[in-house]
Every structure is written in structure tokens, then in C-alpha cells.
């Protein structure tokens, strides 16, 4: 799965996700990616998020909605992302990751799988990683 969240100079947030799913999936199987609120969300009042990981698990806990709702009540993006992924692991033993931007441009990323490749750019500087600690 691939995803992106952006904030433009006018303060508008957008997100997108694109995926081919999982190898050997049943024809017709759809995961969380195209489901608004499960696989992602964008709202200028809060921020944006794109999810990745086990689609059925993400859909069951409506992962993006959890993160956005926590942020809407004042939680910072990183804490909201960590908390939602921990909840998914706890409730449905599902693993994955998220990238998040707050409406103010705060960047957060979190994942419970072994890896997640990511990169972000701000003020002309590029950051990237694939493993925990990077």
C-alpha cells in the first residue's frame, strides 16, 4: 500500500492512498484503503491521515476515525497515532501503520509492523526511514 498526506500554502489538507492489496487475495476482496474513515481521512479543521497494514483489522477499528477524533479533542498527532495502533493491536491483534499531518503541519508517523517506508518534506528538508528508530 502507498499513501500521502499534504498541507498546502492555503492551509488545505488532502490525503490519498493506493494499493494492490495482498498477494493471493480472493478476487473481489477490498481492504480498508478506499473506505473513508477506515483507511484515511482529511479535514482542514483537524488534519489528514493515510493508513496501511492489515485491511480487515483497520476496517474493524475504523483506524483513521480514531486518530482524527483524538486529534479533534486536542491530542497531538503522534500520541493519537500511537494510541490508535495500540488499540488495534489489543482489540483485534491487527498490525499496520499511519502517517499523519495536523492542520498546523505537525508530522507524525507510527507503525506496529516490522517496517514502514516513509518520507516527509518541509521547509526544503527531506526526512525518510524504513525501520524503527530512524
Give me the least distance between CB of 73 and another protein, in Å please: 18
Cβ contacts of 29 within 8 Å, gap of 6 or more: 21, 22
Question: Residue 49: phi, psi to the nearest 5?
Answer: -150, 145
86 binds another protein (CB under 8 A): no
133 binds another protein (CB under 8 A): no
74 binds another protein (CB under 8 A): no
For another protein, the binding residues in 98-117 under the rule CB under 8 A are 99-101, 105, 107, 109, 111-117
Collapsing DSSP states into helix, strand and coil, what is residue 49? strand
Catalytic residue status for 1: yes
Catalytic residue among 1, 17, 19, 69: 1
Give me the least distance between CB of 87 and another protein, in Å please: 14
The 96-102 sheet, strands edge to edge? 40-43, 47-53, 96-102, 107-111
Going residue by residue from 3 to 42, which x/- string records binding to another protein, judged by CB under 8 A?
xxxxxxxxxxxxxxxxxxxxxxxxxxxxx-xxxx--xxxx
Give ∠ CA 89-51-67 in degrees, rounded to 5: 70
User: Are 51 and 42 spatial neighbours (Cβ–Cβ below 8 Å)?
Assistant: no
Collapsing DSSP states into helix, strand and coil, what is residue 38? coil
Identity of the residue, 74 or 124, whose beta carbon is nearer to another protein in the bound complex: 124
Give me the least distance between CB of 84 and another protein, in Å please: 13
Return the active site residues: 1
Amino acid at each position: 500500500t502507498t499513501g500521502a498526506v499534504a498541507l498546502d500554502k492555503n492551509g488545505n489538507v488532502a490525503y490519498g492512498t493506493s494499493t494492490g492489496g495482498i498477494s493471493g487475495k480472493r478476487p473481489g476482496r477490498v481492504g480498508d484503503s478506499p473506505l473513508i474513515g477506515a483507511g484515511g481521512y482529511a479535514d482542514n479543521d483537524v488534519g489528514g491521515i493515510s493508513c496501511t497494514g492489515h485491511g480487515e483489522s483497520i476496517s474493524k477499528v475504523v483506524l483513521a476515525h480514531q486518530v482524527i477524533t483524538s486529534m479533534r479533542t486536542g491530542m497531538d498527532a503522534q500520541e493519537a497515532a500511537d494510541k490508535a495502533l495500540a488499540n488495534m493491536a489489543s482489540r483485534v491483534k491487527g498490525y499496520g501503520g499511519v502517517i499523519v499531518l495536523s492542520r498546523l503541519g505537525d508530522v507524525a508517523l507510527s507503525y506496529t509492523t516490522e517496517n514502514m517506508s516513509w518520507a516527509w518534506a518541509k521547509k526544503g528538508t527531506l526526512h525518510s526511514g524504513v525501520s524503527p528508530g530512524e
